[in-house]
Amino acid sequence: MLATTGLGLTVAPTHAIPDIGEEQPPNLVCDGSYTGQTFKNVRVRPGDTCVLKDSTVTGNLMARHPRTVKVIDTEVRRNLKIRGATDDVKIGNAGCKLDPVVGNNIQIRESHNVLICYMTTKNSISITGSDGRISLFHNNAGRHLAVSRNDAYDRDPGVKHQNPGAIRLRHNTAGGHTRLADNDPSRDLLGLALNSPTPEVN
């Protein structure tokens, strides 16, 4: 809409001029190790290994049937979803000292060894259908935390640990519902220090 001044002049409305020099970070198909970089979205292909350290993902990190995914001291601003990892999944920080944030959800499906520590999410943290060692330490899920329907432990050669198939959960909190149920009966639940308005444990 044009505006008229008291002098009878017509003035066109002003609009913000976009910064042409501002570039979006690149997407990454991750098969290797990356430190101190920024990406928009990260995808890990079947059989690949992805390691992100001290980095930022402004969108999502998605992995389907990767070998190994490690997200260390890295902020993922939307979703972090991994399905069918055949080796290790590690999400947290070197030494578990700081508190990286995932904007929405951490979802781990049908994977092998899973370790998540000192993570904060706006919505949920969930692990289902996995068959290796499972540990969650000092995490804060804004809404829901679920460790459910995980399979019997598939032993790694050379692992020397008392009861390695136990699911270990220590000092985790959830703003809403916590569900630790329907895991294989051979899976012991150890170290339950939960803070949740509606816990469901069996």
What integer is the mean pLDDT of 42-60?
97
For residue 124, the model assigns a pLDDT of 97
For residue 64, the enclosing domain spans: 25-151+164-201
Do the Cβ atoms of 170 and 193 come closer than 8 Å?
A: yes
Contacting residues for 58 by C-beta, under 8 A, at least 6 apart = 25, 38, 39, 40, 77, 78
Tell me: the pLDDT tens digits for 120-159? 999 999 999 999 999 999 999 999 999 999 999 998 887 7
Q: Is residue 121 part of a domain?
A: yes
Number of structural domains in the chain = 1
| Token pair listed for 198 | 């509606």
Pick from 110, 88, 90, 111: which is nearest to 100 by CA? 90
Confidence band of 4 (pLDDT split at 50, 70, 90) = very low
Supply φ then ψ for residue 149, to 5 degrees. Answer: 55, 35
- Answer yes or no: is 35 within a domain: yes
Q: What is the pLDDT of residues 193-202, one digit of tens each?
A: 667 777 778 7
Q: What is the pLDDT of residue 12?
A: 46
Residue 81 lies inside a defined structural domain of this protein: yes
* Domain presence at residue 158: no
pTM of the model: 0.78
- For residue 2, being part of any structural domain is answered with no
